[in-house]
A and B are shown apart, each in its own frame.
Chain A
Amino acid sequence: MSEKETLEKVKDRQGLLAKIQNVFRMGYATREDVREIDKKLRDLYYADFKSLRHKWEEIYLAALNAGKAAEDFKKVIQVIDRVGEKVHRADYGYAGLMDRKGSIRETELTRVLNYDKALNDELQSIVKAVDELYNDMQTGNWTDAIAKARNIKSLILGFESKWDEREKQFRPLEV
């Protein structure tokens, strides 16, 4: 979805007061709405990470009891924590993320939102991989557990590097 389409969608859902505020304060309400939507999106991602962690704790404990745990099992918890907190605490469209010199308009903020939305597929693939291993754990199938744990770790690290790109994308570093 392009920035324009997303922006239209946000504006369509605004109430009368927001529309009046937009007129008098040059689109302030829309910018606030986009920031808030982005924040809500990140909250949802964070909730996914929390749920992933709880599932992984169960998997790890079961693996320890079965004597199948490898070093990657603990690493996965650490990586989930780190990336989850990065998502939770990320800048979402204020001067910290954007170029401070120019004024931050709705389009730039919507680009951030769209970038974050695009990462959903990555996150869902992690959730799916963890669910698969969770099901294996419940059936006591540990044959590919170590390989799967390694794969999950690399999926999360992939998500992290894309998340780190986010800031580079929106904050010009040229002097």
Chain B
Amino acid sequence: MPIIERVAWDNAGPEDIAYRFPKLTLKYGSQVIVKENQWAVFFRDGKAYDVFGPGRHTITSNNIPLLTGALKALGIIGDIFDCEVVFVSNSQFRANFGGKAYSAPSGDIKYQAEIGFYGYMLYKVEDPKLFVVEFFGNRGASTSRDVENYIRGFINERIISEFGRHDIFEVVKNADVTTDKVALKISDEAARVGLKVIDCVFEGINIPEEARRFASGLGAQAMMMQYMKETAGELKGAEGGGAAAAGLGAGVGLTMPFLMAQQLQQAQTAQAQQVVICPNCGAKNPVGMKFCGQCGSSLAPPAKIKCPKCGAENPAGMKFCGQCGSPLTQTAETTCPNCGAKNPPGMKFCGNCGAKLG
């Protein structure tokens, strides 16, 4: 194998985060050139030894003391030795992310909004040795795309779990606080593989229109009504031995929606119950009552007067017929000449004794 005199990562692309020079044979005096935005991590037999920062490094026993010290002591190397060098970029990279999450159950109906999110994270390698050992070494990954694929998982996981903690009212009002929290929590995850999260930018959070409406108090009430209506409709449909009815009958699934539906049914029943309004004070009295529970007035239907001309029925007390305008003059009661009983006007025979009423 030829002895390498000069090692440098010259052709790094915009997405390259690390590059491995496999099996280099270096000698004392070989040059390792590390650019200002790079590190070089030296490996031998799978072990990471030294990390070089930016600059031109001449391989001597002084600048790679761990590597040469250990190997020289064992008599493994002389002036020439084999090693691997992994160059790691120290520049900023961008990782896109996006997905859907649910907010925490909000309000009385425990509404959970489906929130869409997308954005990007700016990151860079902070600890090159940790990054190479924990991430690069096993995966053979070398571009920021590979890192992006890896970190996207835990970014999304963190975001989903974070949104799951905030109800929709909070998400709508404090989107920036929520996203800041996510960014800070991701930092710890990223640090596990030697990455530093510089910033986590949410380019957009899609909050559905209904969730926005829900977040306003009025919308929440409207949605609750709608929800109750739908639930009641479903329950009605399930009557007569449907699955839902069976479940409810057995006392299974006695949850909030069911309780609300029950309340709704009760309300509907109450509405359907007929009442009699007192003509005197206007109080509502159940059907069947004879006197008003409020003022004691009679709840008997008012007497009606038949128009002598057109025959239309008019309420008692009216002076003219509402149908033809004829005067509704009430004749006096007729007293029976035989027994003295009083008979309503217009009667021809006495209701008491049957005598002809003159």
Is chain B found bound to chain A in the same assembly? Answer: yes
Indicate if the CB atoms of A61 and B184 lie closer than 8 Å: yes
The closest CB in chain A to the CB of B126 belongs to A50
* Min CB gap B264→A, angstroms: 37
Q: Which residue of B lies closest to A61 (CB)?
A: B184
Using an 8 Å CB-CB cutoff, how does the interface string of A53-88 with B read, 1 for contact, 0 for none? 000010011001100010000100010010000000
- With a CB–CB cut-off of 8 A, which chain B residues contact A43? 53
Per the bound structure, the CA–CA distance linking A46 and B126 in Å amounts to: 11
Q: Given the interface contacts A61-B185, A89-B36, does A74 sit within 8 Å of B180 by beta carbon?
A: yes
Asked whether, in the complex, the Cβ of A57 is within 8 Å of the Cβ of B126, the reply is no
The A interface is mostly helix, strand or loop, or mixed, namely helix
A74 CB contacts on chain B under 8 angstroms: 180
What is the CA–CA distance of A30 and B180 in the complex, to the nearest angstrom? 48
Q: How far is the CA of A43 from the CA of B53 in the complex (A)?
A: 10
Contact of B184 among A50, A57, A81, A89 (CB under 8 A): A57
Determine whether the beta carbon of A60 is less than 8 Å from that of B180: yes
Chain B contact surface mostly? helix
- How many chain-A residues does the 8 Å CB contact rule pick out? 12
B287 interfacial contact with A, CB 8 Å: no
Closest to B184 in A: A61
> Is B187 located at the chain interface by the 8 A CB criterion?
yes
**Residue B177 is within 8 A (CB to CB) of chain A in the complex:** yes
Please give the distance in Å from A51's CB to the nearest CB on chain B: 12
CA distance A89 to B38 in the complex (A): 12
Nearest residue, chain A, Cβ from B92: A85
Cross-chain contact B198 with A69 (CB below 8 angstroms): no
Interface of chain B residues 198 through 215 with chain A (CB within 8 A): 198-199
Interface residues on B, range: 10 to 19
Q: Which residues of A contact B36 (CB under 8 A)?
A: 89
Is the beta-carbon distance between A60 and B177 smaller than 8 angstroms? no
Distance of A30 from chain B, by nearest CB (Å):
17
CB distance from B121 to the nearest CB of A (A): 14
Question: CA A155 – CA B227 in complex, angstroms?
Answer: 55
**Does B181 lie at the interface of the complex (its beta carbon under 8 Å from any beta carbon of A)?**
yes
Q: Which of B36, B53, B180 has the most CB of A within 10 A?
A: B180
A122 to B180 alpha-carbon distance, docked (Å): 29
Nearest opposing residue in chain A for B176, CB measure: A74
Given contacts A69-B177, A89-B36, contact A64 B184 (CB under 8 A): yes
With A57-B187, A61-B185, A89-B36 known to touch, is A81 a contact of B198 (CB < 8 Å)? yes
Known: A81-B198, A89-B36. A64 touches B126 (CB 8 A): no
The residues of A that contact B177 with a CB separation of less than 8 Å are 64, 69
Chain A residue at smallest Cβ distance from B188: A57
Interface positions of B from 178 to 199, Cβ below 8 Å from A: 180-181, 184-185, 187, 198-199
Using Cβ atoms and an 8 Å threshold, which residues of chain B touch A50? Answer: 126
Residues of chain B in range 36-67 having any CB-CB distance to chain A below 8 Å: 36, 53
Q: Please measure, in the bound complex, the distance between the C-alpha atom of A169 and the C-alpha atom of B291, giving whole angstroms.
A: 104
Report the separation of the CA atoms of residues A78 and B180 in the bound assembly, to the nearest whole angstrom.
Answer: 13
CA distance A154 to B176 in the complex (A): 24
CA distance A78 to B184 in the complex (A): 13
> For residue A65, which residues in chain B have a CB less than 8 angstroms away from its CB?
181
Closest to B55 in A: A39
- Name the distance in Å between A48's Cβ and chain B's nearest Cβ: 14
Q: B180: which of A64, A81, A89 is its contact (CB, 8 Å)?
A: A64
**CB closest residue in chain A, given B198:** A81
List A contacts of B126 (CB < 8 A). Answer: 50
Residues of B within 8 A of A57 (CB): 184, 187
Quick one: closest B residue to A88, CB to CB? B90
Q: How near does chain A come to B154, taking the closest CB pair, in angstroms?
A: 16
User: Nearest B residue to A53 by beta-carbon distance?
Assistant: B196
Interface residues of B (CB under 8 A from A): 36, 53, 126, 177, 180-181, 184-185, 187, 198-199
Pull 9 A–B residue pairs with CB atoms less than 8 Å apart, ordered by A: A57-B187, A60-B180, A61-B185, A64-B177, A64-B180, A65-B181, A78-B199, A81-B198, A89-B36
4 nearest CB pairs, A to B: A61-B184, A64-B181, A57-B184, A57-B187
A50-B126, A64-B181, A74-B180 known, 17 other contacts, Cβ within 8 Å: A43-B53, A57-B184, A57-B187, A60-B180, A60-B184, A61-B181, A61-B184, A61-B185, A64-B177, A64-B180, A64-B184, A65-B181, A69-B177, A69-B180, A78-B199, A81-B198, A89-B36
